[in-house]
Amino acid sequence: MLLYKDVITKDELASDSFCLKDEGFFYRIQTNYINKAGLKIDIGANPSAEGADADEGVCDSTSGDIVNDFIDSFRLQETSFDKKSYQHYIRGYLKAIKAYLSEKNATRVSEFEDLAKVHVRNIIENIDDFKFFNTESMDPDGMIIIMGYEDESKPPYALLFKDGCYTEKI
C-alpha cells in the first residue's frame, strides 16, 4: 500500500486505496459517500450489575450516518477561506514547496511556478465553489486539501498539490 504524505508536515493525505489521477499540478481523487450505519463500536463499558442489556457497552450506529469516505478516512477537518486569507496562506505554502523542490528536484521548479500561477488564480477566482480541509494535525504550514463539485448530484473530488506530496510504501 502507498501512502501519500505532506512534504512539509509528514501528515497522511491519501493512499492508493483511492484512485488518484495525476493532473500535472494536482492529484485528483474522486470521493464517495458511505453509510456508516450498522457499525457496532465497543466503547468499553462493562455490562451493568443490575442485569441490563448484555450489549450495553456497545454503541450501535444504525442512524444511517452518511459520510465522505475520503474525509472520514484521513480525519480531515473543514476550514474556510475568503480570497484574502487564501492568498496569504497559499503564498507561504507555495514558497515552502518551491524550497523543497529546489533541494529535491530543481528541474521541476520552473514548471511548478508556471502551473501554480494558472491553478491558484483559478482557485482564487472561484473560491466560493470550493471547500477546504486541514489534515489531522491541523498544522497551518501544511497542505490544505481542496474539494470541489463537478455537479451537486455527485460526491466531491479532492485536489492535492502534487509537488506537496511524497509516497511511502507500507
pLDDT tens-digit series, residues 109-152: 999 999 999 999 999 999 999 999 999 999 999 999 999 999 88
Whether 50 maps to a domain, the answer reads no
- Tell whether 85 and 149 lie within a shared domain: yes
Least confident of 1-10, 39-48, 60-69: 39-48
Confidence of residue 58 (pLDDT cuts 50, 70, 90): low
Phi-psi region of 119 (alpha: psi -120 to 50; beta: other; left: phi over 0): alpha
Distance, CA of 118 to CA of 169 (rounded, Å): 32
84, 80, 34: which is closest to 61 by C-alpha? 34
C-alpha distances (whole Å) from 33 to each of 14, 71, 106 are 16, 10, 39
Q: What is the pLDDT of residue 98?
A: 97
Helix (H) or strand (E) holding 34: strand 33-35
How is residue 22 written as a grid cell? 495525476
Total domains present in the chain = 2
Beta bridge partners of 79: 132
Percent pLDDT > 90 in the chain is: 79
- The whole-number pLDDT of residue 56 equals 55
**Which residue segment(s) compose the domain that 147 sits in?**
2-32+70-169
Within this chain, do residues 16 and 91 fall inside the same structural domain, yes or no? Answer: yes
Q: How many Å apart are CA 41 and CA 59, to the nearest integer?
A: 5
Calculate mean pLDDT across residues 67-80. Answer: 96
What integer pLDDT is reported at residue 153 of this predicted model? Answer: 85
**Within this chain, do residues 139 and 153 fall inside the same structural domain, yes or no?**
yes
Same structural domain, 40 and 121: no
Q: Same domain for 82 and 65?
A: no
- 3 burial type by CB count under 10 A (0-12 exposed, 13-18 middle, 19+ buried): middle
Residue 46 has pLDDT above 80, yes or no: no
What average pLDDT does the structure give for the chain?
89
SS3 12: strand
The predicted model scores a pTM of: 0.82
Residues 6+ apart with CB under 8 A from 65: 35, 36, 37
Cell numbers given for 135: 489534515
Q: What is the mean pLDDT of residues 14-22?
A: 95
Examine the pLDDT at 54 and tell me if it is beyond 60.
no
Q: How confident is the model at residue 82 (pLDDT cuts 50, 70, 90)?
A: very high
In terms of domains, do 62 and 28 share one? no
**What residues contact residue 127 under an 8 Å CB cut-off, 6+ apart?**
81, 82, 83, 86
